Amino acid sequence: MGIFFEEPKYPVIDRNPSPSTTIANFNLTDYLRITTFTAASFPFGYLAGGNANVRGPSMYTAGLIGLMGGIMYAYQCSSGRLMGRFPNDEEVAKHKK
């Protein structure tokens, strides 16, 4: 984990969330981010493959890269909410029960 020089702006739920905690904290917006990154990458890969023989593999490779990028972005947002770096009203209400 990195070193933060300023205090979190929002309530801290978990200062050092584990990967399982972070993934369990994914909400609908995080899953939409993953889907959007993946869906946007397929046509980009198709168009980037200039030759007809390369378009299919290029499309699938770009889709996988988009999937991994979406997962990493959703993971970053989820862990940021747990650490109090991003707005986390829903998480605070859920963890106070």
Q: How many Å apart are CA 90 and CA 60, to the nearest integer?
A: 35
List, in sequence order, the alpha helices (H) in the chain. Answer: 19-24, 28-48, 52-82, 89-96
Mean pLDDT of 63-74: 97
Positive or negative, the CA dihedral 76, 77, 78, 82 is positive
Mean pLDDT of 35-52: 92
pLDDT of residue 1: 59
Q: How many Å apart are CA 22 and CA 74, to the nearest integer?
A: 9
Q: What is the pLDDT of residues 16-25, one digit of tens each?
A: 999 999 999 9
pLDDT at 97 > cutoff 80: no
| 0.85 exceeded by pTM | yes
